[in-house]
A and B are shown apart, each in its own frame.
Chain A
Amino acid sequence: MTENKEVSENEITLYLEEFSRGDKNAFNKLFPFVYRELRQNAHNLRFQFFNMETLNTTAIVHETYLKIIRAGSATYKSRAHFCFVASKAMRQILVNASIKKRALRRGGSEKRVSFDDIHNSVHLSDQTAEELILVNDALEKLENENSRQARIVECRFFGGMSVEETASALDISPATVKRSWNLAKTWLYTHLNSF
């Protein structure tokens, strides 16, 4: 794992700060790193969690955070921003695993995309994979209609973030998060099978 740690803890904290001030570049630097850490962690954690309790995306995000940013060096706010990046990464991990699953099932590697070992870290059933692909398609559509709602879906559904964490990461009130999440999930559900 250490070989991939080309980004130091200090850098991460710095990027998180820049990101919270609205710097897109910082996001682009953080994302691939968080993505890899998260996926690796999902893989490791499942053995740890096996038969004890359910491993959920919230746990993966939080464990990963603790692993990267040791002991209280970051604020609640930057933690929320980390979770936001991680939620996006988690969405991608789950969707990529679903696409991989579909490709495997259809037999044939018609796509020249390398998925390396993603199915080793995340193993989904056919049904869940298909539904995740549908949800992701609908979410892409929602992104065009209302990007803020789409971000709330990423935080709440994919990242398993609480209302408060989501509010803090997106700089909006908890009440707005609740309301938008309510509407967004209904909108998604309504559009699930329509394209």
Chain B
Amino acid sequence: MFIEEWYLISLPVSPNSPAMNKSDEYMNKVSILFELCQNHSPHKWDELLKVNGNGNFRMREEVKQLLHNHKKAGAYFNILRKRIENEISLSNKPPGFKKGDRIDRFIIKRIINQGGMSEIYLAKKAGGRSEQLAAIKIMKPSFRNDTYAERFRNEQRILSSINHPNIATLFDHGITDNGYPFLIMEYIDGIPADRFCEQNKLNLNYRLKLFMKVCQAIKYAHNNQIIHQDIKPANILVTDDLNVKVIDFGISEIIQEGVNQPGKKSNFSGTICYASPEQLNGKQLSPASDIYQLGLLLYKMITGKLPQLCLYEDYEANSSKVLSDLSRLLKSRYSKMLPIMAGADLCAIFNRSIVPDIRKRYNTVYSLEADLKHLLNYI
């Protein structure tokens, strides 16, 4: 029997009734200006908007922002469509393993989650005296191709070379009888960092302390020449006893000191919302790219939102708006406990993490941490 779900979204009107909305006229003007500018090169935009913007400042600013976002918007919807296609066709196969199945010395208890290219199971060690748990990450059958196999090997190589309390430990790896690579990892009974902060309504102090633990993990990775490249809340798990673990080193890279790799562009495959400008532009990456992602993570962990900034091509021209947004959000959330200086300091720290010009960004996680420590001393 089918249960009706279609009432969930308000029903629309027929395609041909014009049904003018109250602000249709405004949008019409915006669209005319938008088009006008698109037919000219960017350096003419300001002039065009001034002449044709009817002195409407808000409209001019809106059009400017749209013009800046235009290319990224196209890319965003293309990628999202591709992802939907992949997921509705290939990856929605039922999970490959059931309760009781055996992988290596482990017995599957249940599936934890499905990532883009893998399934993650909770498993327990067979015949162990005490119950020893592990998370097993195993490649989805539909992703058995060289690119993804390489991503798996890459993650295995990187995880086996490092060991840090804030990074999920790799116990073992292997290939199943029918040829699927798997990783056996420490099981983390946690939830993504941003959700953890919101659900537990943590105060600013706690949030910053959790964030500092992420910094420690990433600092450690950088010291080992590893750039994570996919730092985002979903890849930072926090447990009830406030343990922080960074996961998913699938697209991480080992930088070879002094080796300039000409022509080697990063082929970005992470989350667009958290991508650094270098990643979006396919440039060669440095640890500064992780620092950018850390900046966004910080923002999300303390405000529960993402800043509008990833939408601005020209961050530096718009930074004052982004920062005043942050400052306002902080005030409304933490006003009672927050010393005036703390808001300003946090804005400055955030700004220095995400400024597009790498030379102006923190050049090490260490310096980002140092500023946060200083801040934590007086809040």
CB-defined contacts of B114 to chain A, threshold 8 Å = 123, 125
Contact with A along B80-98 (1 / 0, CB 8 A): 1101111111111100000
Contact with B along A70-81 (1 / 0, CB 8 A): 000000000001
Q: How far is the CB of A47 from chain B (nearest CB, A)?
A: 9
Q: Is the CB of B12 within 8 A of A56?
A: no
Contact status of A94 and B84, CB under 8 A, knowing A31-B6, A145-B23, A189-B72: yes
Q: How far is the CB of A55 from chain B (nearest CB, A)?
A: 3
Q: Is the CB of A46 within 8 A of B35?
A: no
User: Quick one: closest B residue to A52, CB to CB?
Assistant: B89
Contact status of A186 and B73, CB under 8 A, knowing A151-B12, A170-B16: yes
List residues of A (155-195) whose CB comes within 8 Å of B's CBs: 157, 160, 169-171, 179-180, 182-183, 185-190, 192-194
CB-defined contacts of A146 to chain B, threshold 8 Å = 21, 23-24, 27-28
Contact with B along A14-55 (1 / 0, CB 8 A): 000001111110111001100110000010001001110111
Q: How far is the CB of B148 from chain A (nearest CB, A)?
A: 14
Which of B6, B9, B74 is the most central at the interface, judged by chain A CB atoms within 10 Å of its CB?
B6
Contact status of A91 and B88, CB under 8 A, knowing A131-B80, A146-B24: no
Please count the residue pairs between chain A and chain B whose beta carbons lie under 8 angstroms apart in the complex: 184
User: A95 contacts which of B9, B35, B73 (Cβ < 8 Å)?
Assistant: B9
Contact with A along B1-30 (1 / 0, CB 8 A): 111111011011111111101011011101
Q: How far is the CB of B22 from chain A (nearest CB, A)?
A: 8
Q: How far is the CA of A158 from the CA of B38 in the complex (A)?
A: 26
A69 proximal to B (CB < 8 A)? no
Q: How far is the CB of B286 from chain A (nearest CB, A)?
A: 25
User: Quick one: closest B residue to A81, CB to CB?
Assistant: B15
CB-defined contacts of A118 to chain B, threshold 8 Å = 5
Contact with A along B295-309 (1 / 0, CB 8 A): 000000000011110
Q: How far is the CA of A146 from the CA of B93 in the complex (A)?
A: 38
Interface size on A, residues (CB 8 A): 77
User: A194 contacts which of B30, B81, B142, B308 (Cβ < 8 Å)?
Assistant: B308
CB-defined contacts of B81 to chain A, threshold 8 Å = 56, 157, 160
Q: Is the CB of B70 within 8 A of A186?
A: yes
Contact with A along B115-139 (1 / 0, CB 8 A): 1100000000000000000000000
A122 proximal to B (CB < 8 A)? yes
List residues of A (94-114) whose CB comes within 8 Å of B's CBs: 94-96, 99, 113-114
Contact status of A144 and B16, CB under 8 A, knowing A46-B92, A122-B88: no
Q: Is the CB of A92 within 8 A of B16?
A: no
Q: Is the CB of B4 within 8 A of A32?
A: yes
Residues on B facing A (Cβ under 8 Å) = 1-6, 8-9, 11-19, 21, 23-24, 26-28, 30-31, 34-35, 38, 65-66, 69-70, 72-74, 76-77, 80-81, 83-93, 113-116, 142, 234, 271, 273, 305-308, 310-311
A-B interface, 10 closest residue pairs, ranked by CB to CB distance from nearest: A123-B92, A55-B89, A189-B73, A186-B73, A146-B27, A114-B3, A56-B85, A193-B306, A116-B3, A54-B85
Known: A57-B88, A92-B6; 4 extra A-B contacts, CB below 8 A, are A55-B85, A60-B88, A99-B8, A182-B38
